[in-house]
Structure 1
Amino acid sequence: MAYRSRYVGRYSGIGRILQKPGVQAACVKAATEIMTAAVARAPVGGNEDPHPGQYKASFTVVPHEKNVPFRGKPKLRAGARLRNTAPHALHVEYGTARTPRHAVLSKAMDDVAGRFG
């Protein structure tokens, strides 16, 4: 008779793992890779642009912790955010009536998604 191994996970232990600095470091590394792809895709603007290159230079990676509800109680989870602090970042990403939609962040995530799957 063959012995079958069994695993019974403990949610409290898994939750503690998701709070560790190593998990946050992995999230920051992933966000940095996405930032590299986003900077490569970012439009710079032409001569008529009042702030050429500002959008491309405004990407930052910010480590953060977020309260994620689990079984009715909020639990802290480590993570990282990729932000663009340019005042016109929303217009570049989603577009307006006068500005085309570039979708830099979503395309950068698609470029890098295969490495984390």
Structure 2
Amino acid sequence: MHAEADRVHVINHEGKHFKVRGPLNVPRSPQGHPLLVQAGSSEDGRDFAARHAEAVFTAQQTLDEGNGFYTDLKDRAARLGRDPEQVLILPGIVPVIGDTEEEARELDAAAATLSHLTGGRGD
């Protein structure tokens, strides 16, 4: 425990954006601070991740794109003076499974027709 339980008091904060009884009664994380995770692959996102993130969630469409993303992000981190091995990459995948590769490709194409860009953004 990192605090003396008898000295911890209820916070009872009520503000404009949230209210909390508090305190949070979970142990401190192993690294001593929140894990900084970046999600996305935009140029700004890559720069932010290379500078700050401990883990990066990304979903590339091909193995070549994934390898390129990995190399680019590790290179950016190194140029910023960070140890590239301290930036973890969490690849996202969306498997499409069929009895044959042809069937899987057909299922993937059919699924692609069902998504709408504006709906995905919540417009």
Q: Is the pair's TM-score, using the shorter chain for normalization, greater than 0.5?
A: no
Structure with more of its chain in strand, by fraction: 1
Q: TM (normalized to structure 1)?
A: 0.29
Larger radius of gyration: 2
